[in-house]
Amino acid sequence: MKISLKTTGIMSDYLPADASGGRVELELPEGAVFAQLVETLAIPDDERYVVSINDTLLPEPLQHPLQAGDTVIIMAPLAAG
Amino acid sequence: MAWQRKVLRINLTRGEIHHEPLNMEWANAYMGSRGLGTKYLSEMMDPKADALGPDNVLIFATGPLTGTMSSTSGRYSVLCKGPLTGAIACSNSGGKFGAELKNAGYDLLILEGQSPSPVYLNIVDDAVSLESAEDLWGTTVWHTEETLKERLGDPQTKVASVGVPGEQGVRYACIVNDLHRAAGRSGVGAVMGSKNVKAIAVRGTVGVTADDPKRFMAVVKETMKKLADDRGRQGMTRDGTNAMIDTMHAFGGLPTRNFQEVQFAGSEKINPTAMRAKNENGHTNLINNKACFGCSIGCGRVAHIDPKHFSVADKPQYWHASGGLEYETAFALGPVVGVDDIDACTYVGFLTNEHSIDPISFGVTVAAAMEMFELGAITLEDTGGIDLRFGNAEALVQAAEVTGAQQGFGVDLGLGSKLLCEKYGHPDLFMGVKGQEFAGYDSRALQGMGLGYATSNRGACHLKHDVFSPDMKDQSGNGKAEPCKNSQDEIAAIDSTGLCIFTAGAWGMDDYAAQVDAACEGDWPTERLVELGERTWNLERQFNLNAGLTAADDTLPKRLLETPAPSGTAKGRVCELDYMLKEYYQLRGWGADGVPTAETLGRLGLNA
């Protein structure tokens, strides 16, 4: 299944080389959960980030099931500025 | 040591210059910079005094770590009663000016009274003089700084100055040092202008000495390593603070078109990626990053405007490199006014530095004017022909030019959003607290930010608390009062060290305490820092209460309390301020009237 992935800030470090403007379409196995996306992108366990899927904030995203057509945003955490 | 134990006090009315010892009892209770400046201010002036009159006191305060080898040690605070708010103003700046003042041998510079004619202050270590600034009056910050450096003959001289808006009492005029760093908020530049002080030039060669140099060097090495390894720091170096524009847009907390919306489709045209991209003319906005004194982050941006852009095509004097977009300038000159033209935003950012106006307050004031223009409350006749529609980059540029010059509709824009909205019959369209405009975070999506805005002692401000992490985990108001209160106290302590709060993602309070403990005489455990932060917060609160502010001022505009967020992750939410505020007062040890109880004051060693 295909999902749409967007990252912000330093989380773009983990995007595949063909990503553009912080966005990429990714192919994942049917029934994949968010943790599989983390593994695909090789995001380290100690990295801090915030996740929304289809504009819903997910405080504990790892076991959240993904569906075809989902828009997943992985955001760098905020700091004052 | 680490303190210089010396205060430079200038009575401008009488033209008197005094060197006096630092009050070490106060330094031990308030440390430096924000805390110590607040103590001196509270002791020296009546909070009911006219902010733009001679009885206001203007204090430039360094911290014990300012000018040392600690990372980010270039910070200083400017304190006074703020003309934008009627509350205490405490505005913090970086660059090199603060470290130079400390290296000239001073912890604090205090300006009292009002000079009978325009002057600038020239400080070279112990040699201090007031000089005529008649020839500089009416000129810009950039002209003033370059002229003084040339006149004084030492390229290492650092200058802090105001432009025409500061001279003419624009309520959000700032003090700009090193051409494009600013004590930006609450109108401290208008206070300097009201005292007929155009500029302060300083050259310092005295140096700063740590109490235990070997231990201090070891602690600095350790904390710098921690900062270097921090992912947040790495992002800040690469993208600057403007990385947050993408996160805020995605999150749905990016105030857009005077807070009518919370996401801005044009944000990708002014984000860090756009700053690095080549445009159709082959021009790239971003040149490099830049660090303040002693800083190993380097979040500052250096940019230049496409010479073919309409804003500067006939103005080659603006084709040079200068301070580029940071998050707050990008927000205030972009989404909140609906503009996505990176060169227009950059040019207006240049103008805010050149003329000494706070880009946040300016942009949010223009946003309110645009909303009233679209409602028909402000007309083309009022604006002098500026077509002040949201998204009109040319109108934004014109608005900045007339505000910088204080001509035409720029005089109205110089009132700030609150007074402007009252003048044109729409007080509900003022987006701020206590007279000061919001920064670039919508408190319907970030509830703890809303509580922080409402309770900030200097009016709406995003820098006096840090509730980002809880806000991004849970979008209700539950559990936000405690991290808001605790982070307010901690940041008051960090501000009082002389270091930058952008280190706070990498360092805990133990890291700050270790640096202060090695640099300063006496014992400085973490608990002492946190307690002096709480003491400072309560003293600021007392200043405001004595100035006439009440709990009724701890509130937010109706738009945030009653109109749900139209999109984003917080779609449908309003800011749940009421119950957060009740819990907050209890945690603070304040009564329901927002006044610190006798028990709280006694615990902190404050007088009723």
Mean pLDDT of B63-73: 98
B235, B268, B569: residue with CB nearest A21: B268
Q: Which of residues 12-71 of A touch B (CB under 8 A)?
A: 21-22, 47-48, 50, 52, 55-57, 59
Tell me the nearest-neighbour CA distance from B476 into chain A, angstroms: 12
For strands B181-183 and B432-433, give the pairing.
unpaired
B231 chain-A contacts, CB cut-off 8 A? 10, 47-48
In tens, the pLDDT along B111-152 reads 999 999 999 999 999 999 999 999 999 999 999 999 999 999
Q: What is the DSSP letter of A20?
A: B
State yes or no: pLDDT of A81 exceeds 80. no
B449 chain-A contacts, CB cut-off 8 A? none
CB-based contact A21 B273, cutoff 8 Å: yes
Domains of chain B, by residue range, sit at 6-203, 240-431, 436-604
In tens, the pLDDT along B172-189 reads 999 999 999 999 999 999
Question: Is residue A16 in a domain?
Answer: yes
State yes or no: pLDDT of B492 exceeds 90. yes
Torsion of CA A17, A22, A28, A30, to 10 degrees: -170
Q: What is the residue-wise DSSP string for B354-412?
A: HHTB-HHHHHHHHHHHHHHHHHTSS-HHHHTS----TT-HHHHHHHHHHHHHT-THHHH
B238, B242, B469: residue with CB nearest A77: B469
Return d(Cα B220, Cα B109) in angstroms, integer: 27
Do residues B591 and B585 make contact, with C-beta atoms less than 8 angstroms apart? yes
What is the SS3 assignment for B552-604?
Answer: HHCCCCHHHHHCCCCCCCCCCCCCCHHHHHHHHHHHHCECCCCCECHHHHHHH
State yes or no: pLDDT of A73 exceeds 80. yes
Question: Is residue A80 in a domain?
Answer: no
pLDDT confidence of residue A72: 97
| CATH code at position A58 | 3.10.20.30
CB-based contact A75 B326, cutoff 8 Å: no
CB-based contact A81 B239, cutoff 8 Å: no
Return d(Cα B577, Cα B574) in angstroms, integer: 9
Mean pLDDT of B441-459: 98
Q: Nearest-CA residue of chain B relative to A53?
A: B569
Question: Is residue A81 in a domain?
Answer: no
B326 chain-A contacts, CB cut-off 8 A? 81
Instruction: Report the domain count for chain A.
Output: 1
- Residue position matching structure tokens 């010396």: B6
Question: Is residue A7 in a domain?
Answer: yes
The domain in which residue A15 lies consists of 2-75
Specify the 3-state DSSP secondary structure of B131. Answer: strand
Tell me the nearest-neighbour CA distance from A68 into chain B, angstroms: 20
In tens, the pLDDT along B364-378 reads 999 999 999 999 999
Mean pLDDT of B542-551: 98
A10, A56, A59: residue with CB nearest B231: A10
pLDDT confidence band for A80 (50 / 70 / 90): low
B571 chain-A contacts, CB cut-off 8 A? 55
A73 chain-B contacts, CB cut-off 8 A? 250
A10, A22, A50: residue with CB nearest B472: A50
CB-based contact A21 B238, cutoff 8 Å: no
Question: Is residue A64 in a domain?
Answer: yes
Q: Which CATH number fits domain B436-604: 1.10.3720.10, 1.10.510.10, 2.40.50.140, 1.10.599.10?
A: 1.10.599.10
Of B119, B128, B130, B131, the residue nearest B19 (C-alpha) = B128
pLDDT confidence band for B529 (50 / 70 / 90): very high
In tens, the pLDDT along B7-17 reads 999 999 999 99
Burial of A16 (0-12, 13-18, 19+ CB in 10 A): exposed
Best A7, A8, A49 member to test B by mutation, with max B CBs in 10 Å, is A8
Beta strands in B47-118, from DSSP E residues, in sequence order: 58-62, 76-81, 88-93, 108-112
Domain B6-203 belongs to what topology? Aldehyde Ferredoxin Oxidoreductase;  A, domain 1 (3.60.9)
Q: Nearest-CA residue of chain A relative to B241?
A: A81
A8, A48, A80: residue with CB nearest B247: A8
- Check the CA dihedral B306-B307-B313-B317 and report its sign: positive
Share of chain A above pLDDT 90, in %: 86
CATH architecture of B240-431: Orthogonal Bundle (1.10)
Question: Is residue A48 in a domain?
Answer: yes
Q: In what order do the strands lie in the sheet with B175-177?
A: B127-132, B119-124, B197-203, B158-161, B175-177, B181-183
B252, B502, B571: residue with CB nearest A79: B502
In tens, the pLDDT along B199-225 reads 999 999 999 999 999 999 999 999 999
